[in-house]
Chains A and B, each alone.
Chain A
Amino acid sequence: MLEIIDCQIQAKTWRITLPDIHLNKGELLVITGPSGIGKSTLLHWLLGNNPQHVAITGQILLSGINVTDLAIEQRRVGLLMQDVYLFPHLNVQDNICFALPKTPQLSSKKQRRFAAMKMLEQIKLAHLARRYPQNLSGGERSRVGLIRALANQPQVMLLDEPFAALDPSTREQMGTWAFQQLTEQNIPSVMVSHDVEDIPSSAKQLCLADYYQTLEQIKAEMSDD
């Protein structure tokens, strides 16, 4: 479960004060808003990649544990971006191996490759195992990207306009497939999106513009008080 408490994004001329967010396993939260308002910034803060141009305060709780001060690598947060960034020096199977967690069951190369292959078989992409990312289509790359992120068994999945670069028909197909995967694996997800059509009906929505205040508005509010 993901909880975001007392979160505030503070820039020089504006501020966004978010309501507290509780996201259960398998639920999806979609963050919308005009470009430049800080959607991706918020997502990167959740990841642990603190932005430089704005200050974000608040607490992030994953399964009840406060992870706000932990480094990215200690959070176990998955990330899928518009550009999937599959590692170009590794083939599809090894990209997934790279993401698999280090557990006693997955300690040898053979075990890891086997596990990666099984994941690819489940989504019927086993034939891509030996291919390098440069030789995949956009849709294939997105699928492998999501599977790679899921292979890490993240506690929460962040999606930064993940399907924006795909053509409309692939985008719709990919969206349905991806949300189904996330729900099946019971992972809470936060997605940033421009496109309202991307959003499945079951998703929660948060429009950042609703909580946006300029400096003047804040001052006026304070003087009212």
Chain B
Amino acid sequence: MAATIRRVRSSARIRQIALTSGWLLVFLISLLPILGIVVGLWPPEQVTFADLKPFLAYQGLSVSIFMTLFSAIFSTLVSLYIAFMVYSQYHLSQRLQSFEKYLAPLLSLPHLAIALGLVFLFSDGSLFFVDPGLPRKGLSTLILAIVIKEVPFFLLIFSAIGRQLPIKYWLLQGKALGYQDYRCWWFLVFPPLLKQSRLALLAAAAYTLSVVDVSLLVGPNIPELFAVSVYRWQTSFAAGDQALAFWANVMLVILLAVTVFILYAHEKLAHGACKSLATQGSRFYLGKINPIFTAWLPMLGLLTAMMVVVFALWSFGFNWHSDSLVLTQLTTKLWQDEWLFFSLPLQNSLLIGFFAGLLGVALALLALELQRQKGKYWPDYYWLLAIILPQLSMVLGWQIMHIWSQGGYHSGWIVLSHLPFTFAYAYLVLKGPFLNVEPRYELLAASFGYSSWQSWWQVRFRLLLPAVFTAFAIAFSVSISQYIPTLMMGAGRVTTITTEAVAIGTGTQQDLIALYVLLQSILPFMAFFVAALLARRFRGSMGGNSVRDY
């Protein structure tokens, strides 16, 4: 018995040390976004309020800011409403299971690939061009690309929230009281769903506010979107540009605050409207167009497939303007010529994505487990800061710290700079399944003599395994599509498929652009494919479908 007590004491000490270092690690990673913002927004010595004047007087600033804010709010809200309509068509139906299965691969296509896919398919000179078509560079193309990408994102968020709400019974009650199906959806389901999607809405809007790669390639030119200006000033050495960059970063944070305010006001308004319509017993016919949205997902699948096919055909030298459109013209010449150039970026992308994804998932699991042991879960917005705060200002702060540390330009730094994002998305994906693991399984394992470590590993982790695979695929995709952190931390010396795709995308060689964007799309798709295969191999109570995000 004395030996047992001694063993218990020493294992308690090891446990204590492990817990403390675990918390320390998780804090470090979760605090990186705040640290980045603070350092990034710390005024350089030479900046004064006098510099605010040239910033505010900068030509086209107000239009640029307005367009940026408009695209962020508009694309987010349009995506929200489309996603809700689609969700109301699929929820409770037999096809729900299959729709969730297909969402993840649809989501895997990076924003950039969707944006360029639209250009390749619908803009001037393309296959399906119908006058006036989509502009090669313009706000409409950008907003459309973002809506296409965000709708599946919101669908996953809704289905995760929906699992915890008694939607079935609300609809039943509503219908028993004589309301039609679509009115029940708007009166009874929409308000709580909207309230619980706050963070997702904010994450989507914040992304659009500070996205550089997509804005650069398909956003309008004169004036350019605000994020592009911010990035240009940040990287410029011209006199006065650093001061402009500082005030522009301040403006980005103000824009984020305005976005929060508008989204909150929208929520209040929508709540009020639903409530007043419901209390009046009002009739409105918006819901009648719901059936149209049933077609959204098949159409999206078709569109995605078309984009990939068009990229592939372009990269294999298919000539759209030739008189005889025959597949025998296809050649692998471009792939052979380019192999020398894309093999290193491809290898970098794979390695960085793998490690950033793996560490992101491991840290998310650690953060969840530590909170579970404490018996208290911190609010989500703390863990998701990396995807809520403006990326440009945050990464600027990291870049400054990186320069201070004189760390050099190793891919390890890029992995570290991707980690807050992969961590945040992995956390978002894993939290639901993690909380849903029945604690009595571990209690039973303990009753069979398994220690808490053993039962965590053999029971909780095993039950979560399918969700862990999906989380990894999502984290990997997030890492693959990172542009700003890769470019700024690697100082252009660590190239990935994404940085190359953007660099080439600003040029005019259509077939080369297609090749790189195709590569950028294939990597996440492969990750999802492998994750789905593995998830099927390992059974778990928490299906791999219970994903929430990108």
A interface residues, Cβ below 8 angstroms from B: 47-49, 65-66, 70-79, 81, 83, 85, 87-89, 98-99, 101-102, 132, 149, 152, 154
Contact = CB atoms under 8 A, between A and B. Distances in A.
A66 B2 CA distance: 12
B448 A98 contact: yes
Contacts of B455: 73
A81 B441 CA distance: 11
A76 B438 CA distance: 21
7 contacts: A47-B447, A73-B450, A85-B444, A87-B459, A98-B445, A132-B539, A149-B447
B441 A152 contact: no
B446 A89 contact: no
A73 B444 contact: no
Contact of A89 (B8, B444, B462): B462
B458 interface: yes
Given A81-B440, A88-B541, A152 B449 contact: yes
Given A71-B8, A98-B458, A85 B449 contact: no
Given A79-B443, A89-B540, A101 B463 contact: no
Given A65-B1, A71-B8, A85 B438 contact: yes
B336 interface: no
A76 B451 CA distance: 12
Given A71-B8, A89-B539, A99 B441 contact: no
Interface in B412-451: 438, 440-441, 443-451
Contacts of A81: 440
A76 B540 contact: no
B93 interface: no
Contacts of B452: 73
B186 to A, nearest CB: 36
Contacts of A76: 449
Contacts of B446: 48, 71-73
Interface size class of B (residues with CB under 8 A): 20 to 34
A81 B444 CA distance: 10
B324 interface: no
Contacts of B8: 70-71, 74
B538 interface: yes
A171 B212 CA distance: 66
B56 to A, nearest CB: 58
A81 B438 CA distance: 13
A147 B448 CA distance: 13
Contacts of A73: 446-452, 455
- Name the 9 nearest CB pairs between A and B, nearest first: A72-B446, A88-B541, A73-B446, A89-B539, A99-B448, A79-B447, A152-B448, A73-B449, A89-B462
B443 A88 contact: no
Contacts of A72: 443, 446-447
A27 to B, nearest CB: 20
Contacts of A154: 447
B46 interface: no
Given A79-B444, A87-B459, A152-B448, 6 more contacts: A65-B1, A70-B8, A72-B447, A73-B448, A85-B440, A152-B449
A49 B440 CA distance: 11
Given A65-B1, A70-B4, A88 B540 contact: yes
A76 B538 CA distance: 29
Contacts of A77: 447
A149 B443 CA distance: 13
A75 B446 CA distance: 9
Contacts of B458: 98
Contacts of A85: 438, 440-441, 444
Nearest to B466: A89
A102 B540 CA distance: 25
A74 B4 contact: yes
Contacts of B4: 70, 74
Contacts of A70: 4, 8
A145 B451 CA distance: 21
Contacts of A152: 447-449
A105 B4 CA distance: 23
Given A70-B4, A71-B8, A89 B449 contact: no
